[in-house]
């Protein structure tokens, strides 16, 4: 298709108008960390708490997205980049709709997280680093993937034979070897209240 024939259509109901109907400031909570670090578990706990508070949310989870939107993508470097790019674009649409979006993907490369960040406003992207040592992730091995990777049955596995580039200045850093699931989720909610994304008393979530 000839790209120059595609013209951006201005819509009458704008992002601002949509947000005005909601009691929240939209953003992406971009969870990143090793497999088994606790991204899905904590993102779920956070979403549940937000939902209880009447906040409109959407959780995009790695495996689920690969069953649908990204089922045509494998794990080569190019496909991993495309995986994250599409997730970033979908997250951007949900932010445009006014939601608090939670994404749970390993997203090991700084450059990919940077692409996702660049799609939305600076304060609309909160990097949540699930900082769990590899040794603990491997001990948990909730999906048996580390065992398979160590046996050579899975190639390019993050932390084993593919690097994980840790965030340098994440907005939120959660050490799951020091805090339980509830405490980690509370820390995220605390941040959202403190910086005005949702209303509430941050002291209820102070640790």
Residues that bind ligand ADP (CB under 6 A): 33, 35-42, 104, 140, 142, 176, 179-181, 184
For the chain, give percent helix, strand, coil, nearest 5: 45, 15, 40
DSSP 8-state symbol, 159: T
Minimum CB distance to ligand ADP, residue 201 (Å): 24
Active-site residue list: 107
Minimum CB distance to ligand ADP, residue 174 (Å): 7
Rounded CA-CA distance 78/40 in Å is 24
Rounded CA-CA distance 124/127 in Å is 10
Nearest residue to ligand ADP, scored by beta-carbon proximity: 38
Minimum CB distance to ligand ADP, residue 80 (Å): 15
Q: CA geometry: angle at 53 spanning 100 and 14, to 5°?
A: 40
Of 36 and 170, CB closest to ligand ADP: 36
What are 71's strand-pairing partners? none
Minimum CB distance to ligand ADP, residue 156 (Å): 16
Q: Is 132 helix (H, G, I), strand (E, B) or coil?
A: coil
Of 41 and 57, CB closest to ligand ADP: 41
Of 74 and 142, CB closest to ligand ADP: 142
Burial of residue 102 (CB within 10 Å: 0-12, 13-18, 19+) is buried
Q: Which residue has the tokens 């990143």?
A: 32
Of 46 and 120, CB closest to ligand ADP: 46
Minimum CB distance to ligand ADP, residue 182 (Å): 8
Of 123 and 153, CB closest to ligand ADP: 153
Rounded CA-CA distance 64/81 in Å is 17
Dig out the tokens for 183 from the structure: 């405490």
């Amino acid at each position: 298709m000839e790209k120059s024939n595609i013209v951006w259509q201005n819509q009458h109901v704008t992002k601002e108008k949509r947000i005005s109907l909601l009691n929240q400031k939209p953003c992406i909570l971009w969870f990143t960390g090793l497999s088994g670090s606790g991204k899905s578990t904590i993102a779920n706990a956070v979403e549940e708490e937000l939902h209880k508070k009447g906040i409109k949310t959407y959780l995009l989870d790695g495996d689920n997205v690969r069953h649908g939107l990204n089922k045509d993508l494998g794990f080569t470097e190019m496909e991993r980049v495309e995986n994250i790019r599409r997730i970033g674009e979908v997250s951007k649409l949900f932010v445009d709709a006014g939601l608090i979006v939670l994404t749970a993907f390993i997203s090991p490369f700084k450059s990919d997280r940077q692409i996702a960040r660049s799609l939305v406003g600076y304060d609309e992207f909160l990097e949540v680093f699930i900082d769990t040592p590899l040794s603990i992730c491997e001990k948990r091995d909730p999906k048996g993937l580390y065992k398979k990777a160590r046996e050579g049955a899975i190639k390019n596995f993050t932390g084993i034979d593919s690097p994980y580039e840790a965030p340098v200045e994440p907005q939120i850093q959660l050490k799951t070897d020091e805090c339980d699931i509830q405490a980690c989720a509370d820390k995220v909610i605390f941040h959202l209240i403190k910086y005005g994304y949702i209303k509430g008393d941050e002291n209820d979530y102070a640790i």
